[in-house]
Structure 1
Amino acid sequence: MPSFLFPLKGLYFFLTHPKELWLKTLGPVFLTLVFSVFSIGFSIKVLLPTQVEKLLEWHWPHWMSWFVSVISVVLESAILNLLFFAFLVGFFQDMIFDATIKAKGLGHLLDDTDDIPKLVLWWRGLRSSLLVNWVLIMVKILLIVVTAPLQLVPIAGTALACYISGWPTAWSQHLHYDMEIKGLKVGESYKYAAKNKWHYISFGSLAFGLELIPVFNIFFMWTNIVGAALWIADEYENEHSPQKSKDISSGEPSSSTDENTPLLSGDNA
Structure 2
Amino acid sequence: MPTDAHHPTLTQQLQDRAKELGTYAFQAVSSFSWLWPFRGIFFAVTNPGLVTSVRPALVKSLFFSSAIFLALLIFTYFPQMAILVIITGPLAPLFALILIGAESLLILTFLAKPLFLEPALTHVFDATLIARGQRELVVHGKMRIGGGSSSSGKGVGKALVRPLQGFTPSGIIKYALSLPLNFVPAVGTALFILYNGSREGAGWHARYFQLKGLSKQQRQAFIDSHQPEYTAFGAATLLLNLVPLVGLVFSFTNTIGAALWAADVEAKENLIGNEGESMKDR
Give me the TM-score of the superposition, normalised by structure 1: 0.72
Letter in 2 for 1:78: L
Percent identical: 24
C-alpha separation in 2, matches of 1:12 and 1:119: 29
Q: 1:170 — aligned with what?
A: 201
Deviations 1:66-90 (A, max 9, x none): 7475554332222222333421333
C-alpha separation in 1, matches of 2:96 and 2:235: 24
Inter-CA distance 140–219: structure 2 relative to 1 (3 Å threshold): farther
Inter-CA distance 102–188: structure 2 relative to 1 (3 Å threshold): same
Letter in 2 for 1:157: G
Task: Select 2:67's aligned residue among 28, 34, 38.
Answer: 38
Q: Look up the SS of the partner of 2:257 in the other structure.
A: helix
Letter in 1 for 2:281: E
Q: Look up the SS of the partner of 1:259 in the other structure.
A: coil
Aligned pairs for 1:223-238 within 5 A: 223-238=253-268
C-alpha separation in 1, matches of 2:222 and 2:246: 31
For structure 2, list consecutive stretches of 5 or more residues without a partner in the other structure. 1-30, 150-155, 272-278
Q: Look up the SS of the partner of 2:244 in the other structure.
A: coil
Q: 1:90 — aligned with what?
A: 118
Q: Which moved more, 1:133-142 or 1:91-100?
A: 133-142
Task: Select 2:56's aligned residue among 24, 27, 43.
Answer: 27
C-alpha separation in 2, matches of 1:114 and 1:177: 11
Work out whether residues 51 and 124 of structure 2, in 8 Å CA contact, stay in contact via their aligned partners in 1. no
C-alpha separation in 2, matches of 1:140 and 1:214: 23
Following superposition, the deviation at residue 162 of structure 1 comes to 1.8
Letter in 2 for 1:113: G
Inter-CA distance 69–97: structure 2 relative to 1 (3 Å threshold): closer
C-alpha separation in 1, matches of 2:267 and 2:163: 30
Deviations 1:99-120 (A, max 9, x none): 1111223212212136537389
Q: Which moved more, 1:224-233 or 1:183-192?
A: 183-192
Letter in 2 for 1:174: H
C-alpha separation in 2, matches of 1:215 and 1:190: 34
Inter-CA distance 184–120: structure 2 relative to 1 (3 Å threshold): farther
Letter in 1 for 2:110: L
Deviations 1:5-63 (A, max 9, x none): 111111111111012x122232221111111122022212333356578x6xxxx79x7
C-alpha separation in 2, matches of 1:133 and 1:211: 10
Aligned-residue RMSD, C-alpha:
3.7
Following superposition, the deviation at residue 98 of structure 1 comes to 0.6
Aligned pairs for 1:23-172 within 5 A: 23-48=52-77, 67=93, 70-87=97-114, 88-113=116-141, 115-116=143-144, 118=146, 125-126=157-158, 128-129=159-160, 132=162, 136-138=166-168, 141-152=172-183, 156-172=187-203
